């Protein structure tokens, strides 16, 4: 009979227990990123160093040294586990590419302003950078030179999208404190926020497309093709009660996108969109030939039940490895908690607060392991907390029909359970009177059981006779 057995390697479920804590003496972790296999963990630190962990052993493989003069806020690894990209959103405007195979810095580029987020393309051919008050940029990486440790050069180009609006100059608008405007003496006040900024962006569909979102919550998808960026998904309607978009997350199947939204009149929330192939449209929407390659449909909206204040926000959002769950962390300044929603039932299934381990610090960053139900949380104390599923031994999956006991049970033996039934027992050996000596060497056995040697060995002289040998001439 064929019996279906459970696969013990399948990562079903979601993280529920704190398994381990990663920390490095003299370094405080600020952000982390897995490679495609989940075997390598790249971590940026507050001190500006890049650390490489062997995540299978949870050991530190290499301290790549100080790459930045400010805390690293973005770190990503390409699909081939060759390049690691790091950046800062502070006074350090450089984006650094580190070569894991050569064990050295491959190159760096000085940006015009610090980028708020950066991501290397899965194939390592380019990287994406977003800014606080500027349009996102896509930088192509080209390798040149004759040596094996070739210098990486960069060529920048701007992502053009209908979501991006031109920034009017403060002088032309006659802003208070601007040059040429009345009352220009004295320090200038900060410029008014630009409509549409900041623009958040990230790679989706394995790097084939770039998704963008503006402060109004409108979302658009473009495809990098040479120097042009045709729109493949028209911008979605404005998300109600969304003060601004904080970031994106896509699943492994490339058909779901989670939007991290800051609440305007209520708490922060997550909106999950399903990307659908093909949609009729018009040329005014910016799509080629009036036909969009993608359209979106809202799957669900999940609110953060742990926060009730207006304009609150979640920290980081991610899909589980099997795309069955959506996970969101608490925002900065809020109590440490991790919320998990089931995409099948659309219900909240877990809220991890870590109260069993004391009061955990604020969440700085989050990363989901690509191949198992494991979540890595970087906290304000510079440590990485490893949350994983509470695995239970299930030996019955290897032996169908076997009943496991939750606890020991008293067993009452029947009176005749181990009694011998007549006719079922068989003699194991013959009677002792029939035992005989067995000759295993050879020779005749006497009636007394003593062996009599019949070879010449028993008649050999006590002193051997002299032997003479002659050598033929």
- At 409 the pLDDT is 82
Pair 93, 113: CB distance under 8 Å: yes
Burial 203-240 (b: 16+ CB within 10 A, else e): bbbebebbbbbbbbbbbbbbbbeeeebebbbbbbeebe
* Separation between Cα atoms, residue 72 and residue 303, nearest integer Å: 29
At residue 155 the predicted structure's pLDDT band, cuts being 50, 70 and 90, is very low
Q: Report whether pLDDT(287) > 60.
A: no
At residue 398 the predicted structure's pLDDT band, cuts being 50, 70 and 90, is confident
Do residue 120 and residue 201 come from a single domain?
no
Of 58-62, 292-296, 423-427, minimum mean pLDDT range: 423-427
- At 54 the pLDDT is 93
Considering the domain boundaries, does residue 183 fall inside one? no
| Closest to 444 in 3D by CA, of 458, 459, 455 | 455
| Closest to 385 in 3D by CA, of 11, 5, 22 | 22
Do residue 121 and residue 205 come from a single domain?
no
Of 95-99, 374-378, 427-431, minimum mean pLDDT range: 427-431
Residue matched to tokens 């580190």: 98
- At 22 the pLDDT is 93
Do residue 208 and residue 318 come from a single domain?
yes
* Separation between Cα atoms, residue 316 and residue 219, nearest integer Å: 18
Q: Report whether pLDDT(40) > 90.
A: yes
Residue 293 Cα to chain centre, angstroms: 29
Report pLDDT digits (tens) over 227-263: 667 777 777 888 888 888 888 899 888 889 999 888 8
Better pLDDT: 18 or 277: 18
To 5 degrees, how large is the angle CA 206–CA 126–CA 278?
A: 35
Which class for 378: exposed (0-12), middle (13-18), buried (19 or more C-beta within 10 A)? buried
Do residue 136 and residue 240 come from a single domain?
no
Better pLDDT: 4 or 241: 241
* Separation between Cα atoms, residue 395 and residue 56, nearest integer Å: 24
* Separation between Cα atoms, residue 362 and residue 408, nearest integer Å: 44
Query: Which one of 373, 390, 407 terminates a domain?
Result: 390
Considering the domain boundaries, does residue 423 fall inside one? no
Report pLDDT digits (tens) over 415-466: 888 787 765 555 555 555 556 666 666 555 444 444 444 444 444 444 444 4
DSSP state letters, 3-55: -----TTS--S---EEEEEE-BTTB-EEEEEE-TTSSEEEEEETTSEEEEEET
Domain span holding position 96:
23-158
Residue matched to tokens 């079903």: 12
- At 357 the pLDDT is 66
Report pLDDT digits (tens) over 323-341: 889 999 887 667 778 899 9
| Count of the separate structural domains present in the chain | 2
Q: Report whether pLDDT(354) > 60.
A: yes
| Closest to 370 in 3D by CA, of 22, 56, 20, 23 | 56
Query: Is the pTM higher than 0.85?
Result: no
The CATH number of whichever domain residue 120 belongs to comes to 2.130.10.10
- At 53 the pLDDT is 95
Query: Which one of 390, 408, 439 terminates a domain?
Result: 390
* Separation between Cα atoms, residue 322 and residue 253, nearest integer Å: 9
Average pLDDT, the chain: 74
Query: Which one of 158, 186, 203 terminates a domain?
Result: 158
Pair 364, 30: CB distance under 8 Å: yes
Residues in the chain, overall count: 473
Considering the domain boundaries, does residue 189 fall inside one? no
* Separation between Cα atoms, residue 319 and residue 17, nearest integer Å: 18
- At 226 the pLDDT is 65
- At 42 the pLDDT is 95
At residue 28 the predicted structure's pLDDT band, cuts being 50, 70 and 90, is very high
Considering the domain boundaries, does residue 255 fall inside one? yes
């Amino acid at each position: 009979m064929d019996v279906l057995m459970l696969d013990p390697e399948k990562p079903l479920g979601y993280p529920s227990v704190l398994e381990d804590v990663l920390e490095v003496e003299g370094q405080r972790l600020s952000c982390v990123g897995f490679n495609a296999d989940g075997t390598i963990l790249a971590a940026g630190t507050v001190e500006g160093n890049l650390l490489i962990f062997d995540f299978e052993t949870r050991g530190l493989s290499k301290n790549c040294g100080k790459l930045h003069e400010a805390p690293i806020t973005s770190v990503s690894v390409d699909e081939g586990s060759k390049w690691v990209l790091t950046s800062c959103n502070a006074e350090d405007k450089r984006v650094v590419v580190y070569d894991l195979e050569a064990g050295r810095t491959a190159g760096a580029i000085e940006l015009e302003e610090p980028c708020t987020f950066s991501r290397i393309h899965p194939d390592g051919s380019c990287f994406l950078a977003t800014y606080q008050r500027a349009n996102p940029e896509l930088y192509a990486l080209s390798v040149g030179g004759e040596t094996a440790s070739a210098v990486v050069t960069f060529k920048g180009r701007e992502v053009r999208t209908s979501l991006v609006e031109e920034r009017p100059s403060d002088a032309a608008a006659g802003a208070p404190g601007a040059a040429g405007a009345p009352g220009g003496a004295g320090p200038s006040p900060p410029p008014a926020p630009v409509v549409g900024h900041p623009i958040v962006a990230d790679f989706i569909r394995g790097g084939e497309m770039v998704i963008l979102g503006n402060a109004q919550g409108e979302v658009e998808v473009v495809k990098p093709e040479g120097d042009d960026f045709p729109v493949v998904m028209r911008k979605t309607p404005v998300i109600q009660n969304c003060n601004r978009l904080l970031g994106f997350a896509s699943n492994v199947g490339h058909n779901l996108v989670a939007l991290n939204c800051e609440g305007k009149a209520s708490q922060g929330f997550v909106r999950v969109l399903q990307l659908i192939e093909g949609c009729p449209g018009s040329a005014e929407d910016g799509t080629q030939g009036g036909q969009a390659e993608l359209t979106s449909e809202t799957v669900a909206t999940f609110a953060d039940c742990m926060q009730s204040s207006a304009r609150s926000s979640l920290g980081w959002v991610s899909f589980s490895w099997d795309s069955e769950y959506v996970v969101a962390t608490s925002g900065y300044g809020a109590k440490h908690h991790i919320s998990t929603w089931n995409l099948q039932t659309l219900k909240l299934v877990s809220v991890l607060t870590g109260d069993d381990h004391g009061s955990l610090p604020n969440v700085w960053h989050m990363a989901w392991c690509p191949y198992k139900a494991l979540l890595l949380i970087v906290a304000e104390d510079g440590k990485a907390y490893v949350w994983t599923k509470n695995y239970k031994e299930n030996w019955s999956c290897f032996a169908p029909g076997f009943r496991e006991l939750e606890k020991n049970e008293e067993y009452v033996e029947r009176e005749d359970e181990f009694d011998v039934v007549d006719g079922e027992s068989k003699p194991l050996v013959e009677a002792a009177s029939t035992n005989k000596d067995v000759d295993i060497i050879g020779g005749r056995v006497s009636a007394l059981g003593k062996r009599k040697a019949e070879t010449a060995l028993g008649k050999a002289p006590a002193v051997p006779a002299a032997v003479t040998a002659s050598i033929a001439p």
